[in-house]
């Protein structure tokens, strides 16, 4: 099964991915996670990406496309993947199409997580993340049991630098300008499916189950 999750920041791509991964043995490939790992480890890629990420802007296409060519060529991706946060621009989608054609790995579906901008701002201002294992919390509706300590691994639970309101607004306008054209791009290919993302965190998983894609 080869699926892309598209949606604005805060639509719950990470949380929905966790639910899907609990049921299907797919490679979960999140460009945001790969970039944050590189920033944390101080790699050249991390150093060049950090200023874009902190400003809520997209990292340049050539950097992302190079990174994803390497990632998708790995063995685990051949068995099926869930792309989370990629592609985010039309050139990225076109490069992905070419690459998957070369690898003979056609896409099965693109799930669009739909949610309003107000709900996104509300969610992201309260989002907290474990800096060790990536577990996701909400300061109001789902805080860690012990203040700032991860329930799963004991790591430190913090707010992402780009989850501040001004940066969130900037990430939303980037989404509307640069990523939303992918909706008609994939709709035109007959791959787009719309999934409500304002409520439960497993709507994408339920949708996949109804599609009976197989693994
Ligand atoms: P995310 O965790 O998916 O919200 O990504 C966090 C940040 O990483 C984004 O705001 C961008 O700066 C960068 N990023 C992640 N994926 C991409 C992508 N496909 N293209 C460009 N920048 C990206």
Q: Is the pLDDT of residue 77 over 70?
A: yes
Note if the bond before 88 is cis, omega within 30 degrees: no
**pLDDT score of 112:** 96
**pLDDT score of 198:** 84
What number does the ligand 1 atom closest to the CA of 92 have?
19
pTM above 0.75, yes or no: yes
What residues does 192 pair with on adjacent strands? 110
For residue 80, give both structure tokens.
Answer: 């099926």
Q: Is 194 marked active-site?
A: no
What residues does 128 pair with on adjacent strands? 137
**pLDDT score of 214:** 62
Q: How far apart are the first and last CA of the chain?
A: 5
Decide whether any atom of ligand 1 lies within 6 Å of the 171 Cβ: yes
Q: How many residues does the chain have?
A: 215
The DSSP element (H or E) to which 117 belongs, if any, is helix 117-125
Output the CA 33–ligand 1 centroid distance in Å: 8
pLDDT tens digits, one per residue of 88-138: 999 999 999 999 999 999 999 999 999 999 999 988 999 899 999 989 899
- pLDDT band of residue 215 (cuts 50, 70, 90) is low
pLDDT tens digits, one per residue of 11-20: 989 889 989 9
Decide whether any atom of ligand 1 lies within 6 Å of the 59 Cβ: yes
Q: Is the pLDDT of residue 210 over 90?
A: no
């Amino acid at each position: 099964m080869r699926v892309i999750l598209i949606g604005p920041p805060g639509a719950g791509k990470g949380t929905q991915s966790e639910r899907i991964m609990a049921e299907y043995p797919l490679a979960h490939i999140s460009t945001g996670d790969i970039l944050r790992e590189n920033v944390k480890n101080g790699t050249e890629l991390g150093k060049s990406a950090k200023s874009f990420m902190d400003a809520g802007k997209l990292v340049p296409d050539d950097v992302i496309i190079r990174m994803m060519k390497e990632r998708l060529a790995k063995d685990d991706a051949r068995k099926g993947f869930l792309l989370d946060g990629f592609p985010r621009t039309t050139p990225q989608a076109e490069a992905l199409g070419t690459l998957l054609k070369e690898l003979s790995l056609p896409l099965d579906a693109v799930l669009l997580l739909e949610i309003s901008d107000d709900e996104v701002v509300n969610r992201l201002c309260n989002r907290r993340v474990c800096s060790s294992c990536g577990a996701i919390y909400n300061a109001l509706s789902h805080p860690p049991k012990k203040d700032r300590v991860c329930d799963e691994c004991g790591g430190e639970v913090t707010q992402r630098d780009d989850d501040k309101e001004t940066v969130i607004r900037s990430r939303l306008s980037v989404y509307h300008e640069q990523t939303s054209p992918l909706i008609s791009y994939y709709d035109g290919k007959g791959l787009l499916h719309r999934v409500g993302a304002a409520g439960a965190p497993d709507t994408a998983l339920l949708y996949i189950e109804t599609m009976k894609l197989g693994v």
